[in-house]
Every structure is written in C-alpha cells, then in structure tokens.
Amino acid sequence: MDDEELANLSDKIDELTFWMKFSVWTTFVKIARATLRDDLDKFVYALSDGKKSTREIAQLISIGGKTITHVTVANMWQRWATIPLVIPSRKTGRYRKAVSLKSLGIEAPKIKGLIEEKGEENE
C-alpha cells in the first residue's frame, strides 16, 4: 500500500468511527447521566484520567471533604468499565473517562480545597 491508499483508508476508518459514535451517543448520554447521579460519582469520574491511581483519587476527594476509599474507586471503575463509561489506561489497573462530564452536559462538581488541573482532565 502506498501513502495515498493508507491516507484514504485512515479517512474511511475515521468516518466509520464518527458514525458509530454518533449512532449511540443519545443512549450513552442517558446511561451516563443515570449512572453518575451524585457528586461523589462525578468527582471520581472527572478525576479518572488514566494516570491517577485509586489511592490518589480517593486522597484528592478526601481533601475536598468527602470520604471515599481506594477500594470504592476501584469498584466504581470496574462497574463503569462494563458500560463502558471508563476505558482501561495504558497503566495496568487504571482507567480513564470515555468523555468529559462537560460533553455529557453534566456540570462538574467543585472539589473544595482542590486545585483543579488545566484542560479537559477535570471536566
């Protein structure tokens, strides 16, 4: 295959991916909103960037005045992975959110005492 054929194939894959995502978006949003009901769910989801461990997420949320254990974070990830609201990270045992809360139309809760990171990561 030459470069032009590869570029054409890549374009077709991108188009197919777009239409697949588009076709399930409404259902995905409904499931996400039903699953991420309370602030604790939203905190964990927003902090799930594929880099932070369960312990780091639990610690960050605890700084904000909420109580959660790293085991609870791991259980949430396992449950969400079946939907899939989270996707396995390159780091074994860690997960990252499939899409930001903002793109789901869900307002990200403020974590009291936590300095928020820049970009999509905590949205």
What CATH number did the domain enclosing 11 receive?
1.10.10
Q: Above 60 in pLDDT, residue 23?
A: yes
First-last CA distance in the chain = 41
Residues spanned by the domain of 58: 3-122
Three-class SS of residue 7? helix
How many distinct structural domains can be found in the chain?
A: 1
Q: What is the pLDDT of residues 38-49, one digit of tens each?
A: 999 999 999 999
Give the whole-angstrom CA distance, residue 42 versus residue 83.
16
Q: Which residues contact 103 (CB under 8 A, 6 or more apart)?
A: 123
Q: What is the pLDDT of residues 65-114, one digit of tens each?
A: 888 999 999 999 999 999 999 999 999 999 999 999 999 999 988 766 55
- Whole-model pTM: value is 0.78
